[in-house]
Structure 1
Amino acid sequence: MSLEKTPILIVGAGPVGLSLAGDLAWRDVPSLLIERTDGAIQQPKMDMVGVRTMEFCRRWGIARDVEYSPYPRDYPQDNVWIESFAGVEFGREPMVSKEEEPYPPQSPQKRERCPQDMFDPILRRFVGRFPHAEIRYGTELLDFEELEDGVIADIGLPDGTFKKIAADYLVGTDGAASTVRHKLGIEMHGRPVLTYTTNVIFRCRDLPSLHDKGKAYRFIFIGPEGTWLTIVAIDGADRWRMSIVGNEEKRTIPEEEIRQIILRAMGKPFEFEIESIMPWVRRELVAESYGSGRVFLAGDSCHLTSPTGGFGMNTGIADAVDLAWKLEAVVKGWGGKHLLPSYTIERKPVAVRAVTEAGRNLKRMLSTRSKAPPPIAFVPGPEGEKERKAYGDWYTETMKAEWYSIGIHLGFNYYHSPVICPDGSPEPPDLVSDYRQTGRPGHRAPHVWLKDGRSSVDLFGRGFVLLRLSEDAPAVDGFVRHARRFDIPLTVVDLFDEPEMRALYGADLSIVRPDGHVGWCGDRLPTSPGDVLDILRGVKVSQEAQTPPDLAPSVETTTG
């Protein structure tokens, strides 16, 4: 059996695996990405690319591709709660199209609507730009053995033959049923079943012309039993995703019943074509560990969340970015022994936070089941209209946290990481619908529009960036000498004429990590600049951050 070699073997070519392969390649680190399927997407699992993910796309040079994907930029993004398309409307959250939506003050990008069957091809093209990154479809991980100096993987090939691949590191981005996680024996904790849900993709040409509710991204259907169905515009044209929300009872819904459900949602007969049906389980789970040694997990293989909020894929891509620069560091020799172990410490609390908030969003959406509309609200006329407005106003206010969640996407931090230098400052408010930028260590480095037209986030990504933000800032020769001695990628950037930068970053000096998070800051040079860099690259650990916060999920603790 032949033995092939690669620095990084990635298992699973969904958006997280593609992002990891792309970010590694962008960092000049070769990888092999394998996927057991042919890569075709029958059921797009996501359609919202969050603002932080868009900042990564900006870094990779593909933000414009996402912005101008086939999804129409003039399509309204309203969320509407109705009895049926032909029935009464309870309320809505009007939201402008992606073309009209303003950029948030905290970022040079904004969230985008780009379904997975449009987003994955963009990522595939990005990976394909690099000769040292390879994707192989129809190729399955069968088993692997972790050794002291690497990993030996047994691979099944499309022609039915087998081979062995030797890798320095292996990363499982292979989804909820992760072969890699099961092989490692890592348990998932939380709630293994929230609802048994069935997704149905159906086609109907110009569906908005068949009703009076107008174009909208998402319709939530509320009956006497409460919320029972959602329909979203997948492509802004003729494809629609219907989710039969379900409950904790597992059942298979026959196609004839699904057809009746579609007709109930419309409220009258109409022509449609069912394209695919996919039962799935809505879960709330986080892995005990994200791996260790030479094998790691990212994305759905280590956290599963309700899609209410759009946090799953975006959290997974942030996993990939955190892991990629650390793998680069160890492969190229400037990363220390504490760097890769910091991956779980940094990323697991982020997943717990996102999974918990998504669960809250689901509870909000399903709150109608315990507070269903009164019967009169389904009756046309003035009395019914009064009840509909009261109910709709309540539900609209209840659901706002799901529609406006920039704090979840930008507000996570690594302050307690052993490869961060904490400054003793207090924790800022952890908000859902707002985000207050801060230069506190561990947090995402703030965005500021510079006088030359760039965003400050454009400065970060390739290595460590040492910012000097005041003419009073001391010389940084000690940092530079240590970086040169150990081949640590460090760039010094002087921005003396950017007062907004100094105000937001809160210090004359700031070191930003390759992932765009602040690692250290101060007005004076540390006693040993070399020790600071050694902490940030994992050669040493921060004494102040050696006791991380409790990493147990804040959701229920059933083992899955």
Structure 2
Amino acid sequence: MSIGKHDRAPVLIAGGGPVGMTLALELAHHGVRSILVERNASTTRHPKMDLTNGRSMELYRRLGLAAKLREVGVPRGNPFDIVWATSGTGHLLHRFAYPSAVEWERRAAQRNDGSFTREAPMRVSQIVLEPVLKAAIDAHPLVDVRFGWSFESLEQDADGVTAVLRRSGSDERTTVRSSWLAGCDGGGSAVRTQLGIALNGQHAVGYVYMVHFRSKARDLLARFGIAWHLQTGAGTLVAQDDGDTWTLHVPMPPTFNPDTDKAGLSPGELLRTFAGTDVPHEVLVANLWTPHLVLAERYRLGRVFLAGDSAHQFIPTGGYGMNTGVGDAVDLGWKLAASINGWAGPALLDSYEQERRPIAQQNMDAAGRNFAVRVQIAEAFFAAMADGPLEEPGESGEQRRDRLAKRIAELGNAENESWGIEHGYRYADSPVIASESAPAPAFDPLRCVPSTAPGSRLPHVFLGEDRALYDELGDGLSLLVLGDHDVGRFVGAAEKMRLPLSVVHLKPGPHLDVLEHPLILVRPDHHVAWRGAVVPDSVERVLGVAAGRH
């Protein structure tokens, strides 16, 4: 079969979920064309996630999408509170209170110590997030969008990849030729299957029944005020828009057998049990789903890469799944673009797996720890209920609830407080990061320790009112220069090596003490590639390491 001009592109992206669309936009941001195929005819109608964390939002800010995404998210003034109660209409046990996006931004500006992200996190359903990304790729001339087409097979050689696509629901097929292929096609990835790459870890951690519904009965479903999650011993209710759209997740007991017990599940009955009373509602989607804790044994085979759920799948305790995928997309995107645009060496693309797979392992472990806490809280509920009804009036019931509440508070909520996991991570052993003999700060899953140690995410600080350090960075490599340093040799070397380098001159001040060094080389994804006190003797080597040429 001959391949026409319109069926050729530097990158073919299989999968049009958030990760695939983000990758397409990242490539386009760097001037690289792609073809994106998605087997479904439209964006998802299933509520797969409800948090875009601060790190993902500052990455979307680079792409000019943060404001558009916030337009469809939960109002910026609404908090991220997590509430535990005996039932939806029962007694409040404990509230983990978290600031709204507005308050997050206020605190970030007030402290200005590098521990916050440039953008606040955002509560948003994937159902409404995806159309924003879809509109962006549809409008971009460098993205050839083909929804309703599924990836079927691939063959690769030394020069590229030939993929066969099939129009969904028909026998019509076409062939696409690309230099590189990215498998962003979800947990059941056909690309991963074609490559024969295994998923290692714990499959089918349990079974959960989801009821996605519409209801205006806020007096029953939001009795304890605005809360992102309302949690009881019977499940978790997610307020998708703080209006009339909700998602209830009910974990099944360990003895649950999907083959024999699934037929007996009733969405209305599960909702009534959770709320403690009948709730007027309209079911939008209801199904059984299975969480996993699995990680692909490798992220690359030749000219084909995996990203997002095709490479890792986590229990959604912490919301790390899609957010880890967004990090994958940006890391892979700028590196593919650098290779296609001619300034990267082979080590740069090799570093994608070396950087992102350890982060996925780190995040998967955190999700597992968070799930273990959920199990302990469930056990506390069972123990309390064994003593008597949780809703029992009088002193006995009050004491029972008080003991349960104290246990919940004691176990804590690292699930929604792991800032180290979300934006304090570091690419510790990357071949395209200039290593140092001095040890970097110890990684803390719960706390973002701001640092410019190579591999770290550059700390976010404001330089003045409404002007942030991140906003000064270029699209390629950026050299931060604090004070009076002659960086002409850096500029000259970059020109000779044909590297995109922006020089950002900064006036030293207390707010920039967090940068630790006067010279810092920053990558397009905000991570530090090198830092120094003086211009090194071999600037070519520093730049070469960052570009994957050494």
* Match in the other structure for 2:370: 361
Distance 2:490 2:253 in 1: 57
Note if 1:480 corresponds to 2:491: yes
Residue 160 of structure 1 deviates from its aligned partner by 3.5
Distance 2:527 2:301 in 1: 22
1:242 to 238, 242, 248: 248
1:199 to 196, 204, 210: 210
1:459 to 472, 478, 484: 472
Residue 214 of structure 1 deviates from its aligned partner by 3.2
Note if 1:5 corresponds to 2:15: no
Aligned to 1:493, the other structure's residue is in SS state strand
* Match in the other structure for 2:148: 138
CA RMSD of aligned residues (A): 1.9
- Say how many residue pairs are matched: 532
- Do the aligned partners of residues 303 and 256 (structure 1) sit closer, same or farther apart at CA in structure 2, a change above 3 Å counting? closer
2:167 to 130, 149, 157: 157
Identical columns (%): 34
* Match in the other structure for 2:262: 253
Aligned to 2:366, the other structure's residue is in SS state helix
Alpha-carbon displacement from aligned partner over 1:270-318 (angstroms, at most 9, x marks no partner): 3222221122111101111111321000000001101011111111000
* Match in the other structure for 1:538: 548
Alignment of 1:344-493 (within 5 A): 344-371=353-380, 372-374=382-384, 375-376=387-388, 378=390, 379-451=392-464, 453-460=466-473, 462-471=475-484, 473=485, 475-493=486-504
* Match in the other structure for 1:108: 118
Contact 1:92 1:392 in 2 (8 A): no
Alpha-carbon displacement from aligned partner over 1:113-164 (angstroms, at most 9, x marks no partner): 1111111112122223421112111101110001111000001125531111
Distance 2:328 2:474 in 1: 15
Alignment of 1:224-243 (within 5 A): 228-243=234-249
Gapped regions of structure 1 (runs ≥ 5): 223-227, 541-560
Aligned to 2:502, the other structure's residue is in SS state strand
Distance 2:65 2:189 in 1: 28
Residue 322 of structure 1 deviates from its aligned partner by 0.6
Aligned to 2:347, the other structure's residue is in SS state coil
Contact 1:197 1:247 in 2 (8 A): no
Distance 1:210 1:458 in 2: 41
Counterpart code for 1:221? T
- Do the aligned partners of residues 399 and 250 (structure 1) sit closer, same or farther apart at CA in structure 2, a change above 3 Å counting? farther
Note if 1:57 corresponds to 2:60: yes
Alpha-carbon displacement from aligned partner over 1:423-465 (angstroms, at most 9, x marks no partner): 2221313223321210110001111111364211123350011
Contact 1:419 1:538 in 2 (8 A): yes
Distance 1:170 1:18 in 2: 14
Distance 2:95 2:19 in 1: 33
- Do the aligned partners of residues 210 and 318 (structure 1) sit closer, same or farther apart at CA in structure 2, a change above 3 Å counting? closer
- Do the aligned partners of residues 97 and 445 (structure 1) sit closer, same or farther apart at CA in structure 2, a change above 3 Å counting? closer
Q: Which TM-score applies when normalising by structure 2?
A: 0.92
Distance 2:343 2:244 in 1: 51
Distance 1:491 1:311 in 2: 32
* Match in the other structure for 2:524: 514
Counterpart code for 1:291? R
Aligned to 2:235, the other structure's residue is in SS state strand
Contact 1:451 1:498 in 2 (8 A): no
Aligned to 1:194, the other structure's residue is in SS state coil
Counterpart code for 2:263? P
Residue 515 of structure 1 deviates from its aligned partner by 1.1
Q: Which TM-score applies when normalising by structure 1?
A: 0.91
Distance 1:122 1:16 in 2: 13
Aligned to 2:305, the other structure's residue is in SS state strand
Alpha-carbon displacement from aligned partner over 1:303-343 (angstroms, at most 9, x marks no partner): 11010111111110001111111101110111101111111
Alpha-carbon displacement from aligned partner over 1:504-552 (angstroms, at most 9, x marks no partner): 2211211111111100111122231111111111111xxxxxxxxxxxx
1:297 to 306, 318, 342: 306
Contact 2:51 2:123 in 1 (8 A): yes
